[in-house]
Amino acid sequence: MNAYSGRLALVGDRSPHVRSHSRVPGLLRELEQRDHLDLDIYWISTDEVDEAIGGFDGIWLLPGSPYRSEAGAITAVRTAREQGIPFLGTCGGFQHAMLEYARTVCGATDVQHGENTPEADDLLIVPLQCSLDGHEGAVQVTPGSRAAGLLGVERSMERYHCSYGLDSSRLGLLRDNGMVFSGYDDAGEPRIAELPGHPFYLATLFQPELAGNGARPHPFIQAFAHAVAGRNDQIVEDGRAVMPAAT
């Protein structure tokens, strides 16, 4: 084992009824043993997130929305993005990552999540026309993207448990401010987002933790775990990579 353990925050309101929450610990243990990683894993509820989240080497915003605290979820994403902490957001994590970016970077401060505030006038996250709860679907990835490099293929079958997604009419707003959408379903709806220049920032509407039978971690999870475990070895000017704050 390494002398230094990568400290990983699993942010989500842990529940035995969320399949992802029972699957993730086993996947991480498998990666520790198979790839000789040293991870120090903490569960943090969204209503317990504060500035101390910046002391972690990785942040995974897990499924399970609506979260107890939307503000806590947003804080976790923003901290990871601005402080260069490896970030993975899956399902609800994808939705709140897009919400944070639109509000903080794009200046769309009034956008809301349709599951949290369905009566709001400006919804960024909206009900899907066809619910993906319990479904599997194809994702086409963009050649040359981080997602494509990790998957090693341009088309992948992925599993979902969600009923909300990004309003595709707002893609331009996010793209114009630096967000890259590198995976789409067959209808052209965004399913993967990433930030070039960040040490590791990947958000997926699907749940890679549900791939297969749980014995072989998805490439996204493997890459994320390696980024967390190896963060202490990064050589950066002031000890950590930092992304620009909101303009």
Of residues 132 and 2, more confidently modeled: 132
Rounded distance between C-alpha atoms, residue 73 and residue 90, angstroms? 12
Q: Mind listing the domains of the chain with CATH numbers?
A: 6-233 (3.40.50.880)
Q: In the numeric block, which tokens belong to residue 167?
A: 């309003």
Residue 3 has pLDDT above 50, yes or no: no
Rounded distance between C-alpha atoms, residue 166 and residue 210, angstroms? 21
Percentage of the chain with pLDDT > 90?
77
| Confidence grade of residue 133 (pLDDT, cut at 50, 70, 90) | low
Q: For residue range 6-19, what is the model confidence (pLDDT) as tens digits?
A: 999 999 999 888 88
Residue 246 has pLDDT above 90, yes or no: no
**pLDDT attached to residue 236:** 39
Residue 74 has pLDDT above 60, yes or no: yes
Of residues 71 and 3, more confidently modeled: 71
Q: In the numeric block, which tokens belong to residue 193?
A: 């987002």
Q: For residue range 154-177, what is the model confidence (pLDDT) as tens digits?
A: 999 998 888 899 999 999 999 999
Residue 130 has pLDDT above 90, yes or no: no
Q: For residue range 168-227, what is the model confidence (pLDDT) as tens digits?
A: 999 999 999 999 999 999 999 999 999 999 999 999 999 999 987 777 899 999 999 999
Rounded distance between C-alpha atoms, residue 232 and residue 151, angstroms? 25
Rounded distance between C-alpha atoms, residue 104 and residue 91, angstroms? 20
Rounded distance between C-alpha atoms, residue 223 and residue 31, angstroms? 10
